[in-house]
């Protein structure tokens, strides 16, 4: 483990950082606003399935998402709306998938957080946690075999997901192959209703990095500045060929596991403690502290975010819905394999 | 001591099962060879079952009033090794594994249910000659052949089943003969007769003196033909005793309502049977003109609707065709048909004058559904018809 | 010069590596060691950097192949034994098989499963999993039963955009030989009539094709002409060829080495019963392995799977039905 945080002086702000910080804040804000909207749409019965939001971890997510360059591979998970926006997703695309528009990128075949655009390097997750990491690793392996070493792969997972065999195998394989993979492990204290004490036996998830033989960092994920600094650092190391990087961010899940979960099992004390601070509020405070933005501008940004989302919702709700008649019911890319006789 | 099974024997052709009536011995009794040990009842008779060999009755596996199939184990008799050898018996009970399964490893799955009765001469389950595979059915559908027609084809499949190869070679053998398409009339008659034939039909006959009719008809103009006299006589007989024209449907006898009688008319390539409603209510004079119109209409295929609907019995007169005697077939919806043959002068013994006197006579036959009527009833019907026909003024 | 089934597989991989820079192979012990069965012997040497040793991580092996396929590569994943693919079932059936359906991006991976047993290989080194994988939509499942098909179909597998589960049969590796490798063959999805006949259709695949042909020869001496249909791939299934065969013979016997409940035989029979009922003279029969794990002891192993003798006896029962 190398908590290279020691190398960074917290009061040194690199040039361009203010601009980056503001951008990050706006993405966080957009993520928070759209997710609030998604939850209310879900409660109104307008969204099918489960809704998973990243309330409380927008900072760490955006810190990684904003470092994605064209050509990089990004595999976001269920609480990465902020990262997705930073990596180029737009509001219409998000809402189209959630609201079942025929123009949605998944065509109704999968939905909600399972969306992606693999050809553009935005891999689409499945529900089995840990399974996406080896896919991102494989994408990087392919790039290398093609002689292209310019890309990094970035993905995120929660404290619970690190218990899976898939996570272990993927991390180990990435380490053996020395791939430029940055894995964000967000420990938001709960995996559904399971607290850390029932999830892992090691002292701290970052210690796993030692086991894999890779670099590992801890960061206070409630702090946007720290998150940006540490993630930047990890990404740079990956780009410079130092192999896989694991960044473990600590925060608190400020919602239930999903829309259908009231999280009554969560320890109220955590909410009152430092780990339970809202990264968006902290970032807003920091902006005002640093005088990089005043209350009026921030309120305007909030209003802009709300308006953008309202407009998008209205537009998407006017679009035709996914329809079974339009479905070709063919799971094969090779069309001639399509079963012409329905199963007896 | 080894136990020999007592098997339900084959008690007669087409017997598939029998019901245990009573036991004439009990477990522990000593039995001699060919001794009757129990009685069973088939649908024909009560018969005895004998022990396969001398010995001691071990036990019975069945009870009184139990119905068992031919070949079932009824009980066991203990016998000595000597007797077993002497009588050539097997100790194992009728095996439930057919001989066909000689695989070294028992087949793991999907063998058909082994049937202990497979080797018996009579197919007990719906197999053998009455089984048509889906493939055969599809083929005969394609060819427009009825499954009943398959009966004429020699079957080489299991249990004399007609296989697809049998059908194809049969059809091929016909291929050398000239072929013509059957007319719609021909097919209609064929279908009607095929359906009628699904019942057990029997025929009875009596000779009738036509002299009375010959004389009587001269008094009417136009003169009614013998068929009309027959039809009227039949109508009277049925109205006196409706059971003559009953139909058996399931477990019920359906009795005739109105006395509607059909009279067969030959038409091109077939026969049509126009029906005269309430024939018993009509006089011979009325019948004649009505009938003539119907014949004309039938030949032109322009029968009115009420003449086309089924009647309760029919009459056919083949005398004019030179036929003396025949066994006509009733329509499928009727249990009865009467046929009148050619009138000819025959020597009939006259008691009074102690000599043979020439008389105009014809054979009157009745073909009937033997499920509904027996010989006795039909005999009485014939006598009544004869009486009416020989005294036509009573009609 | 004769070529074995195993050599054909090696040849096909060599050809693919040679002609298509998108191809690489990932598996345990496949590089310098040449693979547990030598299916990749010398390939790492001939194609440096394209034949890679993986850690014992079947899940990550397949997951990484999926990612590579998204990026345009055509990876071949060698499972050391079909039996170990169960560690990767999630990646295979939930990611690879569904990727095209979900995202429109095909997942062009080939997973080679050395399947079936040899005497003594036991329950964890002898499995036939084609029925399991065929069940999931989006997977192509190949079951070559001849040297020619092992070669030709593997080349096609690599070429197909869909994920392919290539069930190569270990029993056939060194026992089947041919004189030369084909230049062409039937496309995947077409079954092959391995032997024409008129009395019964025996539908088989993989190692059971050889058993069926041996049974057909025995039956011929008894005056019974059996038609043997080699499915070649169990997904997609060539229902047309199967139905045409049953139309000729009126009787169907399906022989497969996987377990009885559900599976390839059941699928073929369900289709024939549904779409070819009017073709049948007798109910369709099937022979599977026994409904237990594959036994270890050679004599039990021999009695566990369908054999020539069992096929012969089933055909005779079928004809006497």
**What is the DSSP secondary-structure string of B22-73?**
EESS-TT-EE-TT-EEEEEE-SS-EEEEE-SSSEEEEEES--TT-EEETT-E
Q: What pLDDT was estimated at residue B15? A: 63
Question: What 3-state class would DSSP assign to B255?
Answer: coil
Q: Is 60 exceeded by the pLDDT of residue A173?
A: yes
The residue to which tokens 């194809």 are assigned = B168
Q: Do B110 and C285 touch (CB under 8 A)?
A: yes
First-residue to last-residue Cα distance in chain B: 80
CATH code that applies to domain B128-174: 4.10.320
Q: Is 80 exceeded by the pLDDT of residue A35?
A: yes
- Thinking of the domain B200-394, which architecture would CATH place it in? 2-Layer Sandwich (3.30)
A248 sits in which H/E element: strand A245-250
**DSSP letter, residue A322:** P
- For the stretch C107-158, pLDDT in tens is 999 999 999 988 888 999 999 999 999 999 999 999 999 999 999 999 999 9
Contact A34, A81 (CB under 8 A): yes
Supply the mean pLDDT for chain C: 96
**Which residue in C58, C130, C168, C267 is the catalytic one?**
C58
Q: Which residues of C touch B103 (CB under 8 A)?
A: 309-310, 313-314
Same fold, B3-86 and B200-394: no
Q: What pLDDT was estimated at residue C120? A: 87
Q: What pLDDT was estimated at residue B218? A: 92
Does B97 touch chain C if contact means CB atoms closer than 8 Å? no
Q: What pLDDT was estimated at residue B148? A: 78
Angle, helices A224-239 vs A58-65, to 10°: value is 30
Contact A163, A192 (CB under 8 A): no
Instruction: Work out the number of other CB atoms within 10 angstroms of the CB of residue C197.
Output: 20
Residue A138 domain flag: yes
Q: Would you list the DSSP string of B156-177?
A: -SGGGPPPHHHHHHHHHHHTTS
- CA B107 from chain center: how many Å? 44
Cis peptide before B141 (omega within 30 of 0): no
| Lowest-confidence region among A175-184, B134-143, C102-111, C307-316 | B134-143
For chain B, give the number of residues.
Answer: 395
Q: What pLDDT was estimated at residue B42? A: 75
Count CA within 13 A, CB hemisphere, residue A124.
28
C113 sits in which H/E element: strand C110-115
Question: In terms of pTM, does the model score above 0.80?
Answer: no
How far is A289 from A278, CA to CA, in rounded Å?
Answer: 16
Distance from CA of C283 to the nearest CA of B (A): 9
Tell me which residue of B390, B389, B359, B381 sits closest to B204, measured CA to CA.
Answer: B381
Tokens of C259: 């377990």
Q: What pLDDT was estimated at residue B132? A: 86
Q: Is 50 exceeded by the pLDDT of residue A210?
A: yes
Q: Is 90 exceeded by the pLDDT of residue C103?
A: yes
Q: Is 80 exceeded by the pLDDT of residue C214?
A: yes
Tell me what the mean pLDDT of segment A71-79 comes to. Answer: 98
Tell me what the mean pLDDT of segment C284-309 comes to. Answer: 94
- For the stretch B312-366, pLDDT in tens is 999 999 999 999 999 999 999 999 999 999 999 999 999 999 999 999 999 999 9
Q: Please state whether at least 3 CB pairs lie below 8 Å between chains C and B.
A: yes
Q: Is 50 exceeded by the pLDDT of residue A2?
A: no
**Which residue in C78, C99, C125, C267 is the catalytic one?**
C125
For chain C, give the number of residues.
Answer: 321
The total number of structural domains in chain A stands at 1
| ipTM score assigned to the predicted complex | 0.92
Angle, helices A17-43 vs A295-318, to 10°: value is 50
The residue to which tokens 């999903």 are assigned = A258
Main-chain phi, psi angles of B249, to 5 degrees: -120, 110
Q: Would you list the DSSP string of C159-206?
A: HSSS-EEEEEEGGGTTT-EESS--S--PPTT--EEEE--SSEEEEE-T
Contact C307, C215 (CB under 8 A): no
C278 is catalytic: no
Residue A9 domain flag: no
Q: What pLDDT was estimated at residue C143? A: 98
The residue to which tokens 């695989």 are assigned = B103
User: Which runs of E-coded beta strand occur in chain B?
Assistant: 3-7, 17-23, 30-31, 36-41, 46-50, 55-60, 67-69, 73-78, 201-209, 247-249, 252-254, 261-263, 265-267, 270-272, 275-276, 313-317, 336-340, 344-350, 355-369
pLDDT in tens, chain B (395 residues): 888 888 888 766 556 678 898 999 999 999 987 788 999 887 666 778 888 888 999 999 898 888 888 788 899 999 888 888 777 676 644 444 443 334 344 434 433 434 433 444 443 445 566 788 899 999 999 988 888 788 888 888 888 888 888 999 998 888 788 888 899 999 899 989 999 999 999 999 999 999 999 999 998 888 999 999 999 999 999 999 999 999 999 999 999 999 999 999 999 889 999 999 999 999 998 999 899 999 999 988 888 888 888 899 999 999 999 999 999 999 999 999 999 999 999 999 999 999 999 999 999 999 999 999 999 999 999 999 999 999 998 88
Tell me what the mean pLDDT of segment A38-64 comes to. Answer: 95
Main-chain phi, psi angles of C20, to 5 degrees: -135, 110
Chains touching C (3+ CB pairs < 8 Å) = A, B
Chains touching B (3+ CB pairs < 8 Å) = C
pLDDT band at A11 (very low <50, low <70, confident <90, very high): low
pLDDT band at C213 (very low <50, low <70, confident <90, very high): very high
Tokens of C227: 């038609």
Q: What pLDDT was estimated at residue B189? A: 92
Contact A186, A249 (CB under 8 A): yes
CATH fold of C192-320 reads Rossmann fold (3.40.50)
How far is B278 from B272, CA to CA, in rounded Å?
Answer: 19
Chains touching A (3+ CB pairs < 8 Å) = C
Query: CA angle at residue C114 from C109 to C117, to 5 degrees?
Result: 155
Q: Which residues of B touch C287 (CB under 8 A)?
A: 107-110
Q: What pLDDT was estimated at residue A9? A: 46
Please report the residues numbered 223 through 282 in chain C whose beta carbons come closer than 8 angstroms to any beta carbon of chain B.
Answer: 250, 260, 277-282
Contact B318, B341 (CB under 8 A): yes
Q: Do A332 and C57 touch (CB under 8 A)?
A: no
Tokens of B156: 């080489």
CATH 3.40.50.970 residue ranges in chain C? 3-178
Please say whether the structural domain C3-178 has been given the CATH code 3.40.50.970. yes
Pairing of β A215-220 and β B30-31: unpaired
- Domain span at residue A51? 14-337
Q: Is 50 exceeded by the pLDDT of residue C266?
A: yes
Distance from CA of B7 to the nearest CA of C (A): 25
- Thinking of the domain B3-86, which architecture would CATH place it in? Beta Barrel (2.40)
- For the stretch B29-74, pLDDT in tens is 999 877 889 998 876 667 788 888 889 999 998 988 888 887 888 9
C253: buried, middle or exposed (CB in 10 Å: 19+, 13-18, 0-12)?
Answer: buried
The residue to which tokens 């005999």 are assigned = B379
How far is B21 from B44, CA to CA, in rounded Å?
Answer: 14
- For the stretch A285-326, pLDDT in tens is 999 999 999 999 999 999 999 999 999 999 999 999 999 999
Tokens of C160: 């197909």
C125 is catalytic: yes
- For the stretch C172-211, pLDDT in tens is 999 999 999 999 999 999 999 999 999 999 999 999 999 9
Question: What 3-state class would DSSP assign to A257?
Answer: coil
C142 sits in which H/E element: strand C140-142
Tokens of B26: 């009990």
Tokens of A12: 């040194």
Instruction: Work out the number of other CB atoms within 10 angstroms of the CB of residue B200.
Output: 10
CATH 3.40.50.920 residue ranges in chain C? 192-320
How far is C264 from C283, CA to CA, in rounded Å?
Answer: 17
Task: Write down the number of H helices and E strands in chain C.
Answer: 12, 14
How far is B335 from B278, CA to CA, in rounded Å?
Answer: 18
For A115, the closest chain C residue by CA position comes to: C103
Cα–Cα distances (Å) from B267 to A61, A149, A155, B225, B288, in that order, read 96, 97, 92, 18, 19
Could you tell me where the DSSP H helices lie in B225-301?
226-240, 284-299
Query: CA angle at residue C25 from A129 to C208, to 5 degrees?
Result: 95
Cis peptide before C236 (omega within 30 of 0): yes
């Amino acid at each position: 483990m190398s908590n290279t945080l020691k190398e960074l002086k917290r009061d040194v702000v690199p040039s361009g950082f203010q601009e980056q910080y503001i951008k990050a804040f706006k993405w966080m804000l957009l993520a928070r606003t759209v997710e609030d909207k998604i939850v209310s749409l879900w409660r109104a019965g307008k969204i099918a399935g489960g809704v998973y939001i990243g309330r409380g971890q927008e900072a760490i997510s955006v810190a990684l998402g904003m470092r994605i360059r064209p050509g990089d591979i990004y595999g976001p998970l269920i609480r990465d709306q902020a990262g997705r926006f930073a990596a180029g997703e737009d509001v219409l695309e998000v809402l189209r998938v959630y609201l079942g528009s025929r123009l949605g990128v998944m065509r109704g075949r999968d939905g909600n957080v399972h969306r992606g655009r693999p050809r553009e390097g935005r891999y689409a997750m499945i529900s089995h946690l840990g399974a996406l990491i080896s896919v991102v690793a494989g994408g990087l392996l392919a790039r290398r075999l093609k002689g292209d070493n310019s890309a990094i792969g970035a993905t995120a997972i929660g404290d619970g997901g690190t218990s899976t065999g898939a996570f272990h195998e993927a991390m180990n394989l990435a380490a053996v192959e020395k791939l430029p993979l940055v894995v964000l492990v967000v420990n938001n204290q709960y995996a559904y209703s399971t607290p850390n004490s029932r999830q892992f036996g090691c002292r701290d998830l970052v210690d796993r990095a030692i086991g894999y033989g890779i670099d590992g960092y801890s960061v206070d994920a409630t702090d946007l500045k720290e998150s940006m600094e540490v993630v930047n650092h990890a990404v740079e190391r990956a780009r410079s060929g130092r192999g896989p990087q694991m960044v473990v961010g600590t925060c608190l899940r400020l919602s239930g596991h999903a829309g259908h979960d009231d999280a009554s099992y969560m320890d109220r004390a955590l909410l009152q403690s430092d780990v339970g601070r809202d990264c968006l509020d902290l970032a807003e405070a920091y902006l005002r502290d640093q005088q990089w933005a005043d209350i009026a501008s921030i309120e305007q940004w909030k209003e802009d975010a709300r308006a953008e989302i309202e407009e998008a919702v209205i537009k998407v709700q006017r679009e035709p819905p996914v329809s079974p008649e339009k479905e070709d019911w063919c799971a094969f890319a090779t069309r001639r394999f399509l079963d012409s006789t329905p199963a007896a | 001591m080894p136990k020999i099974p007592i098997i339900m024997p084959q008690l007669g052709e087409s017997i598939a099962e029998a019901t245990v009536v009573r036991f004439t011995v009990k477990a522990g009794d000593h039995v001699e060879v060919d001794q009757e040990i129990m009685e069973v009842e088939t649908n024909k008779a009560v018969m005895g079952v004998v022990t396969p060999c001398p010995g001691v009755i071990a036990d019975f596996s069945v009870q009184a009033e139990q119905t068992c199939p031919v070949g079932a184990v009824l009980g066991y008799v203990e016998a000595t090794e000597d007797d077993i050898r002497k009588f050539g018996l097997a100790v194992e009970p009728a095996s439930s594994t057919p001989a066909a399964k000689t695989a070294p490893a028992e087949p793991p799955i999907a063998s058909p249910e082994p049937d202990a009765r497979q080797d018996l001469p009579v197919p007990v389950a719906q197999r053998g000659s009455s089984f048509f595979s889906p493939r055969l059915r599809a083929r005969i559908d394609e060819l427009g052949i009825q499954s009943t027609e398959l009966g004429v084809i020699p079957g080489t499949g299991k249990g004399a089943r007609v296989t697809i190869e049998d059908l194809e070679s049969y059809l091929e053998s016909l291929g050398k003969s000239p072929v013509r398409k059957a007319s719609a009339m021909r097919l209609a008659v064929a279908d009607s007769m095929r359906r009628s034939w699904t019942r057990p039909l029997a025929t009875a006959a009596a000779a009738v003196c036509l002299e009375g009719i010959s004389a009587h008809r001269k008094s009417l103009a136009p003169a009614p033909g013998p068929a009309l006299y027959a039809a009227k006589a039949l109508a009277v007989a049925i109205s006196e005793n409706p059971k003559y024209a009953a139909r058996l449907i399931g477990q019920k006898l359906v009795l005739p309502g109105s006395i509607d009688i059909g009279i067969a008319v030959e038409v091109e390539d077939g026969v049509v049977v126009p029906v005269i409603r309430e024939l018993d209510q009509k006089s011979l004079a009325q019948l004649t003109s009505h009938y003539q119109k119907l014949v004309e209409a039938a030949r032109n295929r322009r029968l009115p609707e009420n003449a086309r609907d089924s009647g309760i019995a029919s009459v056919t007169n083949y005398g004019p065709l030179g036929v003396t005697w025949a066994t006509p077939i009733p329509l499928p919806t009727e249990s009865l048909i009467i046929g009148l043959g050619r009138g000819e002068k025959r020597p009939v013994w006259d008691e009074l004058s102690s000599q043979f006197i020439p008389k105009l006579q014809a054979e009157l036959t009745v073909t009937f559904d033997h499920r509904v009527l027996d010989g006795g009833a039909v005999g009485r019907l014939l006598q009544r018809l004869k009486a009416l026909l020989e005294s036509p003024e009573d009609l | 010069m004769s070529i074995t089934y195993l050599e054909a597989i090696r040849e096909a991989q060599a050809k693919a590596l040679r002609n298509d820079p998108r191809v690489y192979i990932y598996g345990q012990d496949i590089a310098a060691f040449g693979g547990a069965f030598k299916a990749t012997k010398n390939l790492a040497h001939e194609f440096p950097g394209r034949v890679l040793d993986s850690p014992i991580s079947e899940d990550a092996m397949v997951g990484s192949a999926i990612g590579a396929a998204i990026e345009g590569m055509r990876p071949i994943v060698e499972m050391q034994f079909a039996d170990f693919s169960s560690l990767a079932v999630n990646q295979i059936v939930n990611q690879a098989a569904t990727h095209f359906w979900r995202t429109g991006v095909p997942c062009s991976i080939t997973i080679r499963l050395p399947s079936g047993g040899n005497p003594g290989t036991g329950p964890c080194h002898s499995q036939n999993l084609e029925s399991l994988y065929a069940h999931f939509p989006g997977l192509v499942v190949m079951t070559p039963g001849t040297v020619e098909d092992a070669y030709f179909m593997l080349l096609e597998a690599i070429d197909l955009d869909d994920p392919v589960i290539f069930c190569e049969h270990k029993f056939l590796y060194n026992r089947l030989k041919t004189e030369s490798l084909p230049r062409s063959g039937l496309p995947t999805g077409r079954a092959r009539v391995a032997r024409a006949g008129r009395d019964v259709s025996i539908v088989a695949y993989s190692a059971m094709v050889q058993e069926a042909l041996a049974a057909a020869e025995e039956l011929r001496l008894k005056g019974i002409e059996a038609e043997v249909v080699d499915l070649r791939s169990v997904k997609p299934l060539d229902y047309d060829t199967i139905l045409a065969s049953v139309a000729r013979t009126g009787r169907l016997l399906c022989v497969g080495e996987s377990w009885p409940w559900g599976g390839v035989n059941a699928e073929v029979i369900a289709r024939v019963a549904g779409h070819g009922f009017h073709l049948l003279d007798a109910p369709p029969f099937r022979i599977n392995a026994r409904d237990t794990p594959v036994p270890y002891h050679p004599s039990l192993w021999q009695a566990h799977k369908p054999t020539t003798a069992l096929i012969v006896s089933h055909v005779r029962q079928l004809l006497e039905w």
